[in-house]
Amino acid sequence: MSEQKKRKIAVCHGPKCGAQFAEEITREMEMAFGQRPDVEVTKCGCLSSCSLANNIMIDDQVIISRNTPRNAVANIEKALAGDIYGAGGGVEVDPFNLEDDKFLGI
């Protein structure tokens, strides 16, 4: 029997996200997911999607944007279940893919 990989939720605490709701969103994430053995909640630096703040990265790959303390838990629950595009207006953005910069208008 193989061990299930732990999912990582990283809440952006960069300048823009940190000035908005980063602490509140981190608390909401910790309350919702902190007791789950399959999920780790952490803080991270800027995810370079500042115009779409507040940002949360899942598994170092997918960024869910436009989170607030009210919608963040629901957005991340949907994303963890595989419904990335249905996550309350969240957008899947790869910060290392230049094609996503075009989508963002950069």
Confidence grade of residue 100 (pLDDT, cut at 50, 70, 90): low
> How far apart, in whole angstroms, are the C-alpha atoms of residue 93 and residue 49?
8
Tens digit of each residue's pLDDT (9 = 90 or more) over 26-42: 999 999 999 999 999 99
Residues 91, 65: contact at Cβ < 8 Å?
yes
**What does residue 42 show for φ and ψ, rounded to 5 degrees?**
-135, 170
Q: pLDDT value at position 87?
A: 44
pTM of the model as a whole: 0.75
22-33 and 72-80 are packed helices; what angle lies between their axes, rounded to 10 degrees? Answer: 50
Tens digit of each residue's pLDDT (9 = 90 or more) over 3-20: 678 899 999 999 999 999
Residue ranges of domains in the chain, CATH in brackets: 7-104 (3.40.30.10)
> How far apart, in whole angstroms, are the C-alpha atoms of residue 88 and residue 72?
9
DSSP letters, 20-87, are TTHHHHHHHHHHHHTT-TTEEEEEES--S-GGG-S-EEETTTEEE-S--TTTHHHHHHHHHTT-STTS
Tens digit of each residue's pLDDT (9 = 90 or more) over 56-92: 999 988 889 999 999 999 999 988 887 665 444 445 5
